[in-house]
Copies of this chain bind each other. A is one copy, B any other.
Amino acid sequence: MSAISERRERERAHRHQLIITAARELAETEGWEAVTTRRLAERVEYSQPVLYSHFNGKDAIVSAVALDGFSELAAHLRRARQAAREPGQALRAVCRAYLEFATERPALYQAMFILPTDLKFASAETPPPLRAAFNEFVSCFRPDNEQRELFAEVIWSALHGMAVLSDSGRIPPGGQEERLDFLVTRIADTQ
């Protein structure tokens, strides 16, 4: 392990992250359909094959972006939950933060929930950021609530449906706040 090979490894790790951020920026400015391996390679100023020395394929790159997204989502939800004054308002705050996240970073949200990825959900090898994001919903309910995971799943499903259906125009994008209010008041009395 010479110093040179260490430097190489550092450069390699740096380039790895460079690819991920380039893919994300390209997706956020021009949409995922503009993220081709050629354009991405040009953006990071390397040839196409180097992408495949870092990732198994395009799906793996999308997965890497999605994973970063889950970390950010978890942090975003946590901030909202902890900023809530009364515990009864935590769920509402987290739900609103979730919808915020989905509408403000649509490309990132697509990578996390719509595009095909290699990520494993709800299993033993689920990456920690995914669990962390999900647990923010669970934490809105009392620990002695035996159904809190079930509650969290339904809330999450409803929010995801609202986000994606309104984004694609299948439900009017205007009424999100009313829908959110209806959803939370229906669930919130049980914590």
Contact = CB atoms under 8 A, between A and B. Distances in A.
Interface residues of A, number: 32
A122 B161 contact: no
Interface string A94-138: 000000000000000000011000001111000000000000000
Complex copy number for this chain: 2
Interface string A159-189: 1111011001111100100110011001100
Contacts of A153: 162, 165, 171, 175, 179
Contacts of A114: 114
Contacts of A162: 153-154, 157, 161
Contact of A150 (B150, B159, B169, B175): B175
18 contacts: A113-B170, A121-B171, A122-B169, A122-B170, A147-B182, A153-B162, A153-B179, A154-B158, A154-B183, A156-B171, A157-B160, A157-B162, A158-B158, A158-B161, A158-B183, A161-B161, A161-B164, A186-B186
Interface of A: 113-114, 120-123, 147, 150-151, 153-154, 156-162, 164-165, 168-172, 175, 178-179, 182-183, 186-187
